[in-house]
Amino acid sequence: MLGPKPLADRVAIVTGASSGLGARFASVLADAGAEVVASARRLERLEELARTNRAIHPLAGDVGEPADRERLVATTLERFGRIDICVNNAGISSGAAERQATVEVFRQVMRVNVEAVFALSHAVATAMRAQRSGSVINVSSMFSFVASAPVPEAPYVTSKSAVNGLTRELAVQWAPDGIRVNAIAPGWFPTEMNAALFEDERTQRWLERNCPLGRPGRIDELDGILLFLASDASSYCTGQVIVIDGGWTIR
């Protein structure tokens, strides 16, 4: 059972924390007792989030840039002396269908969605290794298991499939160091990235028809799995990609 503050004395990093799932993740971890360094490109959004909880500490940066990743880790260690949790949430989609045919767009998506996850995970693992403990939580997608059709997202789907493989491989490599690596694969959850889809009534009806639970997810329905993976409740869980999709992938 999780107590009222299961993450007391823990320090977390959350990327892509200026909106959507990332902002929610930062708040949930802070409410559970962690000191949370919230990172994203939009500082004003992070500062607004930080005003809701004194345990959230905003730090602007682009996770796709090596210098910003280094500053994120260094600043967290300078301020708190440790890193216990890293939520690799930052991600981008491919955009319009016609853009997906370009190698440039493919590389951009892979740089943020895969390369940055790989690099930041390695950076925080150095601190976690010294502690002999840590939890890396990658944010994948149900579209790492099934095609995204009728929404065309080839680069995004490819990147999230790569995140699953990276999660499993790092989990095996780092298990002897006490570092656990898992991933959450959400289904249809309203976010800033997919807002246009949820504003379309035809899309809403299509989603309701095709999802076994008949609706999109509520943002609070990821709280439990996040806290499970971030806390000692999952001390024997590593290398797992846990799908939270209302049954979409079992149709």
Q: Which residues are catalytic?
A: 156
Which CA distances in Å does 121 have to 114, 138, 152, 164? 11, 9, 29, 14
Q: What are phi and psi of 194, to 5 degrees?
A: -115, 25
Q: Which one, of 129, 128, 117, lies nearest residue 184 by Cα?
A: 117
The residue type of 251 is R
Sheet with 11-15, strands from edge to edge, namely 56-60, 35-40, 11-15, 85-88, 134-139, 179-186, 241-244
